[in-house]
A and B are shown apart, each in its own frame.
Chain A
Amino acid sequence: MRVLVVLLLLLSGCSIAGGATDGDRTTVTFRLWDEQVAKAYEESFAAFEQRNTGIDVTVQLVPWADYWTKLPADIAAGTAADIFWTNTSNYGLYADSGHLLPITDGQRSGWTRSVVDLYTRGGTLWGVPQLWDSIALFYNKELVEQAGVDPATLTWNPSGNGDTFLPAARKLTVDRAGKSADQSDFNPGTISRYGFNASFDSQAVGWNFVGSNGGTWQNGDAFDYADQPKTVEAIQYVVDLINKHHVAPSAADTNTNGDKTLQLFTQGRLALFQSGPYHLKNVQEGAKFRWGLAPLLTGPSGRVGVVHGVAAVASAKTPHREATEKVLSWIGSADGARPIAAGGFAFPGVVAAEPDFTEYWRQQGVDVTPFRDAANGVTFPAPVGPRVQAGATAAQPILQQMFLGRLPVPDGLRQAQAAANKAIEP
């Protein structure tokens, strides 16, 4: 019984051991899920070790697919790393159960404000911001020029008043015969190129529409969206883009394949791709055409985008708190954060290192200002709570049916919300 074996392994704590003290040298372990960024950390910690000869920092890489199952198992077994990466949906569980060290670092005024807010719970800051993502619009320059669309000025409106986005998306969607979606003989059954990546991707698509329409998603830790008219209206608009207006790929293609829209964009089969800086390198490597970045679409309430951040948190059970806090302080400094920014991996959590990131991409011919503007504007909070991940998982199959058009939006949201709130009960 595979499940039994997994449970046993988990109990016997067969996992990478935490840090150790060897003579007068202390080893602090640091865990993350991103292979690319791990290289930047290696560089950063090499500089740290030169300044702090008594401390070694070991970087542990645990792939994303195993990260959130391995982490609680290691914490239960007492073998978690001294410092580890976390996202907003997962840290609440550890903060609430007393597994994290509170962050009291004096450098916090130099950290990205929105990420500090995301990791503040019960009045205490629990993590040192490491990187952040906001949302903007990647566009295929050749396609928008052909269609005569200016991606920087697009506005959507569920009432249809002043909606310049939908006509543009229809112009950009083309079937195999070369007819665009605004022509009468367009065949939605044979679309070869899509206008926009409307899909069940809450961070890059759904929540930005909700926020830009003045809607909300959570109330405290509870999910509260099904009875918010603005929220329902916004999600209806997104679903209609797929099933009614046919300007986005079918949810059957995108529901279970999170990379589908990225692939379509880099293949030149998607004109407007709303996404985050986490896709900059993929697009840069994959796209064989000229592309650019425009601000997030404007909604009735303006541009309200999701800002999500990754933070480094420290285990409260670390046997060498002093060394751990020194490392935390280093990765919260501009010098410590610089390798992440200068390598173009992500916007750093330390504001003073940000120009390095912007500069990396400027040299690649990409202006990343739209991401920065989105983060500095009004933002939509990424969901939080100790069991928010369980809630999202419970809602997922229902929301997927809704995106497929098999469930009407109001019903889908109501059922999803009920399932999610049941799942977040401890």
Chain B
Amino acid sequence: MGSRGFPVRRTLTGYAFLAPSLLGVIGFLLVPVLVVIGISLHRWDLVSPARWVGLDNYAALLDDLAFWQSLLITGMFVALVVPAQVVLGLLTAVLLDRRLPGSVVFRTVFVLPWISAPLALGVVWRWIFDPSDGALNAFTGVRVEWLSDPDLALPAVVVATVWQHVGYVALFFLAGLAGIPAQFPEAARIDGANAGQVFRRITLPLLRPTMFFVVVTGLLTTFQTFDTVYAMTQGGPAGATDVIASLIYREAFTNFRMGRAAAMSVVLLLLLITVTVAQQLYFRKRTTYEVS
């Protein structure tokens, strides 16, 4: 890396190559975030002129019961979805990695839910859970009102969401597994480790970077789940599945309280940044093994 030539020009060339994605980041990420922060400081119903209210929208969130309730539900939703999809995804990846007959077909089948439109899948799941004519109740022969019972609706949406994500998670673990050189587990086995020990002491630690990626992206997408909930329950029954994105949507586009909705979005953004940073610190403390 010699610094001969024209550093300024080199830097500019570098930025020129970055420009397309940089424009994307600025136009579709940075600007919207700033705009939302701006809106959150106003009172605006879209059709009347916006009025500056300072931090009023944030203050109002403090004693907005629906907002806290929704954060709680989102937290429960994330706590159920993310561990389940990571464990099931890992399990699926390990099984697919065995290269049993049909592995290739299954690999494709597992990813199908991920590439399908969540809204369409939500409609299908709503039909599966339909109390009178649904597939699930017809199969079990017991009438359960899955999506109308406040105790069952959230678990039902969790099942649909996990099912959608598992294939995607498995795909990453599969790539992670492929990156582990065969001699490591082999050496361990020669030293007398059994299959369980190899998995716990060799495979899992070496999968840590994948684990980090899968957990972080899983948390981020799950925190913002909207389509599946919208299609299956619209936040009901009695607000039992009213996750934060669903509440923000309603506040903005049914109640036309743009300022409030923007303030909620900003809080969600801060929350997600906190969670991500915390995770990064947690995973950084643990050693990651460079395998190359």
CB distance from A1 to the nearest CB of B (A): 7
Interface string of A1-40 (1 = CB under 8 A from B): 1111111100100000000000000000000000000000
CB distance from A195 to the nearest CB of B (A): 16
A404-B233 Cα distance, complex, nearest whole Å = 15
Partner of B132, one of A7, A69, A97, A250: A250
Q: Please name the residue on chain B nearest to A69 by beta carbon.
A: B253
A interface residues, tally (CB under 8 Å): 42
Q: CB distance B147 to A256 under 8 Å?
A: yes
Indicate if B32 sits at the interface (CB-CB under 8 A): yes
Q: Kindly list chain A residues whose C-beta atoms are within 8 Å of the C-beta of B32.
A: 1, 4-5, 7-8
Indicate if A397 sits at the interface (CB-CB under 8 A): yes
- Known contacts: A3-B265, A5-B28. The answer to whether A393 contacts B255 by CB under 8 A is yes
A4-B34 Cα distance, complex, nearest whole Å = 10
- Known contacts: A1-B265, A2-B226, A404-B148. The answer to whether A8 contacts B237 by CB under 8 A is no
Q: CB distance A251 to B148 under 8 Å?
A: yes
A404-B131 Cα distance, complex, nearest whole Å = 12
Q: CB distance B35 to A8 under 8 Å?
A: yes
Q: Kindly list chain B residues whose C-beta atoms are within 8 Å of the C-beta of A62.
A: none
Interface string of A60-81 (1 = CB under 8 A from B): 0000000011001101100000
Residue of B46, B145, B233, B249 with most chain A CB atoms under a 10 A cut-off: B46
Indicate if A401 sits at the interface (CB-CB under 8 A): yes
Partner of A390, one of B226, B256, B262: B256
Q: Kindly list chain B residues whose C-beta atoms are within 8 Å of the C-beta of A11.
A: 35
Indicate if B178 sits at the interface (CB-CB under 8 A): no
A150-B160 Cα distance, complex, nearest whole Å = 47
Indicate if A400 sits at the interface (CB-CB under 8 A): yes
Q: Kindly list chain A residues whose C-beta atoms are within 8 Å of the C-beta of B248.
A: 3
- Known contacts: A5-B32, A76-B46, A390-B256. The answer to whether A189 contacts B245 by CB under 8 A is no
A389-B32 Cα distance, complex, nearest whole Å = 28
Contacting residues of chain B (234-288) with chain A, CB-CB under 8 angstroms? 234-239, 245, 248-250, 252-256, 258, 261-262, 265, 268-269
Q: Kindly list chain B residues whose C-beta atoms are within 8 Å of the C-beta of A4.
A: 32-33, 35-36, 265
Q: CB distance B234 to A256 under 8 Å?
A: yes
Q: Please name the residue on chain A nearest to B261 by beta carbon.
A: A3
Q: Kindly list chain A residues whose C-beta atoms are within 8 Å of the C-beta of B47.
A: 72, 75-76, 93-94, 97, 99
CB distance from A389 to the nearest CB of B (A): 6
A390-B126 Cα distance, complex, nearest whole Å = 25
Q: Please name the residue on chain B nearest to A389 by beta carbon.
A: B254
Indicate if A411 sits at the interface (CB-CB under 8 A): no
A4-B255 Cα distance, complex, nearest whole Å = 17
Residue of B31, B35, B47, B239 with most chain A CB atoms under a 10 A cut-off: B47
CB distance from B287 to the nearest CB of A (A): 33
Q: Kindly list chain A residues whose C-beta atoms are within 8 Å of the C-beta of B255.
A: 387, 390, 393-394, 423
Residue of A4, A93, A189 with most chain B CB atoms under a 10 A cut-off: A4
A332-B132 Cα distance, complex, nearest whole Å = 46
B interface residues (Cβ-Cβ under 8 A, vs A): 28, 31-33, 35-36, 39, 45-48, 126, 130-133, 143, 145, 147-148, 150, 224, 226, 233-239, 245, 248-250, 252-256, 258, 261-262, 265, 268-269
> What 3 A-B pairs have minimum CB-CB distances, sorted nearest first?
A252-B148, A72-B46, A252-B145
A interface residues (Cβ-Cβ under 8 A, vs B): 1-8, 11, 68-69, 72-73, 75-76, 93-94, 97, 99, 189, 249-253, 255-257, 387, 389-390, 393-394, 396-398, 400-401, 404, 406, 423, 426
